[in-house]
Amino acid sequence: MAGAFVIQLKPGHQDRTEEGIRRRRVFIHWAGIGADAAKPGVEYDDLRRLIERAGLGKYELGQHANFLLRMGRGSHVFVPCEGERYVEGVVLSRHARYDAGLGHWREVRWLHGTRKLPRAGLPSELQRAMKLNRTCTQYHGPLSRRPGPKSGLPGGAGRDPRRQGGAGFKRDAAKRGAIEERAVAVASRYYQKRGYEVVKKGKPYDLLCRNGGPPLYVEVKGAAGKGKSVILTRGEVRHFCGCWPDTALFVVAGIRVSGRPPVGRGGRGRPICPWRPEGHRLRPTQYEYAVPVRPQSS
């Protein structure tokens, strides 16, 4: 993880903290060291000299060192509110910015609106670190709980519905696996009854079927619904466009899943042969993005 931080509140700055929460920003409120401290490439010694020049003390050095030099995009932050309660967020900006009179700030996304956590809702490692360091407390390492929408909110408010029950993603993966396994079994039996020798493969196709002639490459897709559309990988599209016409798509719809572990049952098979993924039937669902090496101009 990119680190977890607790912004300790300096007396007299509660109003600015609340303003930052409204503006989705996390502030360090001492403005005395200026914008130079937020420039990329600033190191600890540079920061120390700026703070000494401004006549500030070790408290400010500790705050700014953690906030400017160690906190980065992806860091989790806990910002104090009234009554020992905290708002939890994740940092979006890579570098700190500076506003004269307000101090340094970073853009942040609150993980569950502006609902406030009790101090007991913070990870225990952060609570221990807060006792040792009363400035901008930082912690790197494993946490007793993962920061996020399940952070001790009363009644489960703000909880990510995909994760309710603790193992939602695992159950979904097991269900998908059961559907795929059932679909392959239905397709294998279909071709075996027609005199094919069937070999299970996996990638970039599911079944290799032989009956004395050219091999038949079969892609199998299973669905709990009607199976009107299926997901294809780039490798599958490339392979079946290159192997046509010795190709087939076998869709098994209406698969029922039950039991623990999940087991697929039933399903209606529909072969399409010969088959190739025509371009006008393909719709992009995601893109691969090549990240630029250099900053982009505005």
How many CB atoms neighbour CB 54 within 10 A?
15
Share of the chain above pLDDT 70, in %: 78
Q: Percent of the chain, pLDDT > 90? A: 14
Please report the domains of the chain, with CATH numbers, ordered by start residue.
4-163 (no CATH), 168-281 (3.40.1350.10)
For 275, residues 6+ apart whose C-beta sits below 8 A from its C-beta are 219, 240, 244, 247, 248, 249
- Whether residue 158 is predicted with pLDDT greater than 50 in this model: the reply is no
pLDDT of residue 116: 79
Residue pLDDT, tens place only, 115-140: 777 877 777 777 777 776 656 677 66
- Examine the pLDDT at 269 and tell me if it is beyond 80: yes
Burial class (CB in 10 A: 0-12, 13-18, 19+), 18: middle
pLDDT-based confidence at 10, cuts 50/70/90? low
Averaged over 75-95, what is the pLDDT? Answer: 81
Long-range contacts of 48-55 (CB under 8 A, 24+ apart): none
* Two tokens, residue 116: 């406030």
Structure tokens at 275: 């088959």
Note the pLDDT of residue 233. 83
Contact partners, residue 133, CB within 8 Å, separation at least 6: 62
Q: What is the mean pLDDT of residues 129-152?
A: 62
Contacts of 168 by beta carbon, 8 Å cutoff, 6+ apart: 162
Residue 219 pLDDT exceeds 90: yes
Average pLDDT value for residue range 211-217: 88
pLDDT exceeds cutoff 50 at 286: yes
Instruction: Give me the pLDDT at residue 163, please.
Output: 40
3-state helix, strand, coil in the chain (%, to 5): 30, 25, 45
Name the pTM for this structure.
Answer: 0.46
Q: What is the pLDDT of residue 146?
A: 54
